[in-house]
A and B are shown apart, each in its own frame.
Chain A
Amino acid sequence: MTTEAIRVYNRPPRHIPRRVVIFAVLIVLAAVFAMPLLWMVSASLKPENEVLKSPPTFIPSTAQWANYSQAGHGLLPFFLNSCKLAALNVGFLLVFASMAGYGFARLNFAFKNLAFALLLSTAMIPSMVYLVPQYMLFREMGWIDTHYPLWVPNVLTPVFGTFLLRQAFRGVPIELEEAAKLDGASIFGTFWRIMLPQVKPALAAVGALTFMGSWNDLFGPLIFLNSTRLQTMPIALALFKGEFFTQTNLMMAAATLTILPPLLLFLVAQKYFVQGITMSGLKG
């Protein structure tokens, strides 16, 4: 960029410095986006009589941390169910998606293109279309009111994960693989020991997005589970509304606890999320 171009490009609009304008807009928008979540946290820390006070106050008079222990105590079994399902979904999906991704990226076999087209085409099918037969299938298999429908079908149909990992495997230098072959490594050995470590960032991206999908799933638990003890956190929250909590402050504490795990994961693994989301927008 020439000096002239830089000068023209950065010319401030009239007299207000450009940076000040940008900052002001950024902060106003941040307030708008954060407001519902901040309000949730604020209410979760209020004593009961303060939640519905008019005019509303933002800062609780005294922070009621006991709200959290009360809400958390009720949520604990559902938290464990959600953790179990998230672990199964992430773990097995990564295995199957990375195997398929590697197969499509680096192995040659009959009907490969057809198989890949078939896989991608399913991304367009609304899940509502196959919901009813799927439900009947699970009923035949005795899977209704078990955790199986909430992870087995997911991990065996990882369209997005396969696509993303295929892209990642294609980026690994072919020489690495050929060297391993020369050393006499089997195809599986090459995949497991040489190739898989090369695509760790893509694995993290797929894992993070899978965790979100599993944790935030509403439809699956709603349809396939009947027993309360098997339910996941989001559904438990919905049940709490009717059964346990008539108090808004406790509801908000429970809502905060439900949102916390994915939010923390997002903050920690933000880089991988952005990578995964961005790659979903790439052209195959």
Chain B
Amino acid sequence: MTNAVLPTVSPPADVDRPKPKRRTKVKPKRQNLAGWLFVGPVILGVLFFQLAPVAASLVVSLTNWSGLNKPTFLGLDNYKELFTADDTFWPSLKNTVIFTLAVVVLTIGIGLALAVLCNQKVKGIGIFRTLYYSPAVTNVVAIGFVWFWLYDPDNGLFNSTLKTIGIHGPAWLSDAKTALIAVIIVAIWQGVGYPMVILLAGLQSIDQSLLEAATVDGASAWRRFWSVVVPLLTPSLFFLTITQFITSFQVFGIIYVMTSGGPNNATSVFIFHIYEAAFGHGRLGYASAMGWVLFVIVGVVTAVQWRLEKRWVHYDN
């Protein structure tokens, strides 16, 4: 479980492409053996450590297993309880949705602005790129503490600074009204580097002659940006909406470190709720049910994004 970079979700587009015919003396059987020796460890690893547990978790989600008792089959009771009797589920889902929307939209939006800025040919631009990306390599515990302290209602940098100009700052993390916003700010600060790098690469791959043609046609810089640059970036933007959605929806570390879901569940997110059910209350069956609900939500939203792809993503450059 890493928070560095999500693997690609692009489909194996070229898998079906006919392979160039190769004249080789190696017999098919030996080739099969060699091929499987090379990919075997990883395929077995995925089956053993991921796919089998995914299937097992569906079974566990239908039981009251605690890891110690003899599990009883409950049918869909865990799911029923989750949707109807759990007072943390809906608030945590709501928080997760707010967090995800804010982080997806703002990291991609700010990332795009930063990418455009970092694509300018000025001296020392590499230093600025490095600076903007550097929060992305820090770990959440360390930066969680730093921000926790910056947000301190009395002695934190923000409120001390506000006090010098006569403003009484909010309580940030300890106020249910501002806690989620405060966490979102940290997530954006840390999360903007990845979209920036992806979009910068997208910008640098744009054929300059297209921009020149638009300029000759009299398009303003603003017009060039929206009518030429942005359409050409839509494949990268599409990729980012998918990956950023999947990562943000599974936010955990920053919540765990900064608020533990509080105050009063104001920042309780879905994964945090699962974590507590599984490792706080030992309800493995219930936690598995929540895991599957998460899986279905992520799967459906991603499928919808793929369906909408045609409407706004241009691949014809």
List A residues at the B interface (Cβ < 8 Å): 1-2, 4-5, 8-9, 19, 22-23, 25-26, 29-30, 33-34, 36-37, 39-40, 43, 52, 54-56, 96-97, 99-100, 102-104, 107-110, 112-113, 115-120, 122-137, 139, 153-160, 162-163, 181, 187, 191, 209-210, 212-220, 222-223, 233-235, 237-238, 241, 248, 251-252, 255-256, 258-259, 262-263, 265-267, 270, 274, 276-278, 280-284
Which residues of the partner chain A approach B252 to less than 8 Å between Cβ atoms? 218-219
Q: What is the number of residues of chain B that contact chain A, defined by CB distance less than 8 Å?
A: 114
User: Which applies to chain B's interface (DSSP): helix, strand, loop or mixed?
Assistant: helix
Top-9 shortest CB links A-B: A109-B35, A156-B45, A213-B2, A103-B38, A160-B7, A130-B53, A133-B53, A133-B56, A255-B142
Which residues of the partner chain A approach B145 to less than 8 Å between Cβ atoms? 237, 241, 251-252, 255
Contacting A99 at CB < 8 Å: which of B41, B120, B253?
B41
Q: Is B263 an interface residue (CB 8 A)?
A: no
Are A107 and B46 in touch, CB under 8 angstroms? no
User: Which applies to chain A's interface (DSSP): helix, strand, loop or mixed?
Assistant: helix
Are A127 and B1 in touch, CB under 8 angstroms? yes
1/0 per residue, CB under 8 A from A, across B5-45: the answer is: 11111111111100100101010000111111111011111
Are A30 and B128 in touch, CB under 8 angstroms? yes
Which residues of the partner chain A approach B72 to less than 8 Å between Cβ atoms? none
Contacting A216 at CB < 8 Å: which of B2, B45, B189, B295?
B2
Which residues of the partner chain B approach A213 to less than 8 Å between Cβ atoms? 2-5
Which residues of the partner chain B approach A160 to less than 8 Å between Cβ atoms? 5-8
Which residues of the partner chain B approach A9 to less than 8 Å between Cβ atoms? 211-212, 215, 221
Contacting A277 at CB < 8 Å: which of B50, B131, B197, B246?
B197
Which residues of the partner chain B approach A113 to less than 8 Å between Cβ atoms? 12, 15-16
- Could you name 23 residue pairs across A and B whose Cβ atoms are closer than 8 Å? A23-B122, A33-B131, A33-B189, A55-B164, A115-B43, A128-B291, A129-B295, A132-B57, A132-B278, A137-B53, A153-B45, A156-B44, A160-B7, A187-B34, A212-B2, A218-B253, A219-B1, A263-B134, A263-B137, A266-B134, A278-B198, A280-B198, A282-B10
Please report the C-alpha to C-alpha distance between residue A251 and residue B143 in the assembled complex, in whole angstroms: 11
Are B138 and A37 in touch, CB under 8 angstroms? yes
Please report the C-alpha to C-alpha distance between residue A163 and residue B201 in the assembled complex, in whole angstroms: 19
Q: Is B256 an interface residue (CB 8 A)?
A: yes
Which of B87-95, B97-105, B149-157, B172-180 sits within the interface? B149-157
Are B2 and A217 in touch, CB under 8 angstroms? yes
CB distance from B149 to the nearest CB of A (A): 6
Please report the C-alpha to C-alpha distance between residue A186 and residue B11 in the assembled complex, in whole angstroms: 32
Please report the C-alpha to C-alpha distance between residue A237 and residue B144 in the assembled complex, in whole angstroms: 11
Are A280 and B2 in touch, CB under 8 angstroms? no
Are A123 and B8 in touch, CB under 8 angstroms? yes
Q: A107-B38, A216-B139, A234-B141 are in contact. Are A30 and B132 (CB under 8 A)?
A: yes
CB distance from A152 to the nearest CB of B (A): 8
Are A223 and B279 in touch, CB under 8 angstroms? yes
Chain B residue at minimal CB-CB distance from A112:
B35
Which residues of the partner chain A approach B49 to less than 8 Å between Cβ atoms? 130, 134, 137, 153, 156-157
Q: A107-B35, A134-B53, A212-B137 are in contact. Are A97 and B42 (CB under 8 A)?
A: yes
Q: A9-B215, A219-B253 are in contact. Are A22 and B117 (CB under 8 A)?
A: yes
